[in-house]
Amino acid sequence: MAESDDQEPSSVRLRIRREAGGLWSKAKSLLAGTWQRASESGFGDWYKARWADSRRFRIFNYLLGAFVVFNLVFWVAVTRNLPSAESLLTYQPPLPTMVLGINGEIVYSYARERRVQLRYVDFPEKLKNAYLSAEDKNFWTHGGVDYIGVASAVIDNITKIGTDERGRGGSTITQQVAKNILVGNERSLGRKLREMVLARRIEDVLTKQQILELYLNEIPLGRQSFGVEAAAQAYFGKSVADLTLAEDAFLAILPKAPEKYGRSNHAAEALERRNWVLDQMVKNGAVPAAEAAAAKAQPLGIIPRRGDNWDPANGYFVEEVRRQLIEKYGENAEAGPNSVYAGGLWVRTSLDPQMQKASQDALRTGLVRFGGAGNGKALDHVDLDPDAWQSQISLLNKSISYLDWRVGLVLDRSGSGATIGFADGTKGPLGGAPAAIKPGDVVAAAPSGTQAWAFRSVPEITGGMLLEDAHSGRIMAIQGGFDAGLGSFNRATQAQRQPGSTIKPFVYGTGLDYGMSPSSEVLDGKFCVYQGSSLGQKCFQNFGNAGGGGATHTMRWGLEQSRNLMTVRIANDAGMDHVAQTFERVGIGKYPPYLAFALGAGETTVQQMVNAYAALANNGMQYQPTVIDYVQDRSGKVIWRADARRCQKCNMPEWDGKPMPRFDSRGKQVMDPRTAFQVVHMLEGVVTRGTAYLLGDMGLPLFGKTGTTTGPTNVWFVGGNQDIVGGVYLGYDQPRPLGGWAQGGTIAAPIFKQLVQATKPRWSTKPFVAPAEIHWVKVDRISGKRVFSGAPADGKDASVIWEAFKAESEARPGIGTEELEKQRAALINAARKGAGRPKAPTASTSAGDAKEPEAVPTISSDAAVGNQ
């Protein structure tokens, strides 16, 4: 049985005693030999004689021995393990990590303490003089320890024995530097002695200016602030350069009792102490008496304690950045010099504040629109402690930034009434709380009258949204739920959900790779596969358990109307193994080659789907999605960058006459450029006249695809333009049906539309650019056949459109225009007799099969066939 760490094995103790005994024996032997040699030389006899005859000689030896013993004890007790003063030359204080957005402005900081480092020259003279007058008026003349000040402090402490007053300290600023950085804050004589020894050593290593700079940057001043710049921001909301003389003097009183003088109930004592500092400044010649008198007449002017003024809309994004940084560099100083909470990193991110705010607002609106007044449940629950409820709610670290809502703790419940308390200590009556709400529940509430609150319920339905720059992979916005203050789980990057029909474009893309074209005709009819003797035959169906009617339609029509039967037939004809390879290549996921996965039965994330669609928008070129552009250490050196490409000849001193050196592409070609463009062109039709026709009135070139999974449990939309691609899904965290009427086109697509409307100037009006070797052919939209008359159009009622073809699959000529018009008229008449809106589904197909609704635009000469 292994012994615990705090138990010393007996064998080790025996060895230590044995070795110690051996050393003592050797020492005795050495002393005896030395004494014998001294005796032989006559020294021993002389020493004995002197010892016996001279009293002074004996006193001298006693004093010498006492001195040796004292120094030995002092070394063991005080100086033996003192840290090196030279370490202050390379001292790096723990600093927060600063996060910058895409525009270079600071958007967040990862900090457990408020710290801002300044140079000596950045501290105003009056501020320095205020601290010297309050703490160490002889700073410029003493050698680290002010012995007169120490003696004065000892006398002051003796006179205050037996009173409630605390004697003043005798520490110099140099001693406080030693205490704050090197030896700690233990209250003991040994610590005080170590502090004094180190102070003398520090004065030999650092200049007075360096010592004062360390002091003003490191001194703890309350409100979690360390250093005068952080304290100036915490108490007055301004930089040290903007402080008044009265404010300088107030900061100078904080080292004595920061938690006391910084509180409103000790304002009178703080005012008295501040005025004393002003008097000392006058006495030391630091300020004129008149200026000090004017400062005395001013109030303290302390602002209320407040949290960091960061935009809460950025919460999910900066939390994703934090996770990645901790994975790279660790969380605390023990993990290394570049840790997140101590390394002082500067992190440039791809966060676009405008797009982030619009994403938050759009997703919240969609969640509230679907979830209504919520489910009336509490956000959390604690075992209520009536004497410590304020600490309990504070430690939960929950907040909400929606409207004027706040997060509080239910303190008591009596009938229909209740009392709610908040982290700042305020309380009030809570109205409208459901019967299930009880003391200890954490709830959201909104103001209701004077000092009263009304219960508010956060929608139980949730979801995720993400935007990406298609040309670089830089993620512009992440919204991982209703509010990051309620929980850090990010549904845009971490939630694994079935993508439903949003995966179909990659099935169609595989079909295009294997010889099909957008005009290829595919049967929209019964399709069954044999799954073995135990499972039997499986038959697929369209949305709402509908059959396909046995008609053939173009690939374009099948994708626009999201036909399941056509999709599985294409997957089967192209080879489901090839389809699965496409899914893996574009980063959606690695799935087995089963046809159900062609309808979105696998699981993936919003980020993965958006990145796959970004490859479509960028003609098959895909970039690794990133939230961090680069990381700098505290000295400004770049220690990591997302773009790690090198250009070996870019810095050559002279041109070598060869072609200009260029960076290699960061991206990876994951699809045939022609295939990707053909899919995008068909997905523009999804927006114009398909399942996402809700977006068709935006006046922008948009592409995209809706998705609705079995149940339905998830509703999706993924799409964008050639520059920006986004995706959104809604669903319960524990998947359950949303209701038979829930569809991606009616719930998810409106969320994306609101985002685009709010940021419309950011969305390009330029059409998608086709790659080389794409042939444009006029075709009849219904049959896909090539036509030679009529003007192509883009609207939902267009009968002739431009279609994108590869040279090897270009459309063949169709029948004559006159005969085509006759067939179209017949189809329209048949559609008008039997067309109607499909009934809401009453049952789902087999588990895992994704289904998508048919679009029901206004029936026209070209839309009618699509409604059969």
Tell me which residue of 298, 308, 300, 129 sits closest to 223, measured CA to CA: 308
213 is catalytic: no
- Nearest alpha-carbon partner for 400 in 282, 327, 463, 482: 482
Q: Is 641 exposed, middle or buried (0-12, 13-18, 19+ CB in 10 A)?
A: middle
Q: Which of 485, 335, 475 is nearest to 401 (CA)?
A: 485
End-to-end CA distance of the chain: give it in Å, rounded: 78
Cα 628 to Cα 642: distance, rounded to the nearest angstrom: 7
Determine the Cα–Cα distance for residues 774 and 802; give it in Å rounded to an integer. 12
Contact 329, 338 (CB under 8 A): yes
Q: Which helix (H) or strand (E) holds 551?
A: strand 551-554
Distance CA 624, CA 801 (A): 35
- Record the tokens describing residue 665, joined without a space: 């592409």
- Identity at 548, one-letter amino acid code: G
- Region of residue 670 (left: phi > 0; alpha: psi -120 to 50; beta: else): alpha
Q: Which of 852, 592, 602 is nearest to 705 (CA)?
A: 852
Number of residues that make up the chain: 868
Quick check: 703 and 768 in contact, CB under 8 A? yes
Per the CB < 8 A criterion, the answer to whether 223 and 235 are in contact is yes
**Known catalytic residue: 391?**
no
Maximum distance among all alpha carbons in the chain?
A: 145
> What is the spatial distance between Cα 490 and Cα 479, in angstroms, rounded to a whole number?
8
Burial of 837 (C-beta count, 10 Å sphere; 0-12/13-18/19+): exposed
Angle in degrees, 0-180, between the axes of helices 576-585 and 564-574, rounded to the nearest 10: 100
The residues pairing with 454 across neighbouring beta strands, listed in sequence order, are: 431, 446
Distance CA 766, CA 266 (A): 65
3-state secondary structure of 451: coil
DSSP at 514: T
Cross-strand bridge partners of residue 725: 468, 720
Collapsed DSSP state (helix, strand, coil) of residue 716: strand
Torsion angle of alpha carbons 669, 671, 673, 678, nearest 10°?
-160
329-349 burial, b at 16+ Cβ within 10 Å, e below that, comes to bbeeeeeeebbbbbbbbbbbb
Strand ranges in 690-791 using DSSP code E only, listed in sequence order: 703-708, 715-720, 724-731, 774-780
Backbone angles phi, psi at 463, to 5 degrees: 175, -170
Residue 502 amino acid letter: T
Rounded-to-integer distance, Cα 211 and Cα 174, Å: 7
Give the other-Cβ count within 10 Å of 301's Cβ: 12
Q: One of 339, 350, 457, 501 is an active-site residue; which one? A: 501
Strand pairing category for 380-381 and 441-447: antiparallel
Q: Which bin fits 364, alpha (ψ -120 to 50), beta or left (φ > 0)?
A: alpha
Contact 743, 714 (CB under 8 A): no
Strand, coil or helix: 62: helix
Annotated catalytic residue within 135, 229, 247, 319:
135
Q: Could you tell me which residues are beta bridge partners of residue 715?
A: 708, 730
User: With contact defined as beta carbons under 8 Å apart, do 366 and 747 qualify?
Assistant: yes
The closest of 538, 556, 558, 537 to 548, measured between CA atoms, is: 558
Q: Do 805 and 777 meet the contact criterion of CB atoms below 8 Å apart?
A: yes
What residues are annotated to the active site?
Answer: 135, 501
